[in-house]
Amino acid sequence: MTATPTDKRTRELLNRVAAARNFPENTCPASRHLHLIAERLAAGKPYPMLQEEPAHCAMALLSVLESLWKARTELARLKTPNV
């Protein structure tokens, strides 16, 4: 973790994210980029790339969101018994 926010809920969430990260097995470049953005913002620090290359940051956010939603769909499919 690159920063130490003072908000307890934010610290707890950052710790849960760090515990869930298993590089490289469950990460990708977009998720690692998103992690950097989130840590900086959670610490109240600027992330210059948000202003300098907002489209690039948006692509990382969208890529991770797509992966999340696909994973949730696949988990739901796997949990549904074959009828």
The whole-number pLDDT of residue 29 equals 96
- Record the tokens describing residue 45, joined without a space: 């620090």
- What is the per-residue pLDDT across 2-32, written as a single tens digit (0 to 9) for each? 446 668 999 999 999 999 999 999 999 999 9
Q: What is the pTM of this model?
A: 0.82
Residue 33: which residues within 8 A CB-CB, separation 6 or more? 57, 60
Task: Return the domain boundaries, the chain.
Answer: 8-79
- The distance from CA 5 to its chain's CA centroid, rounded to whole angstroms, is 17
d(CA 34, CA 29): 9
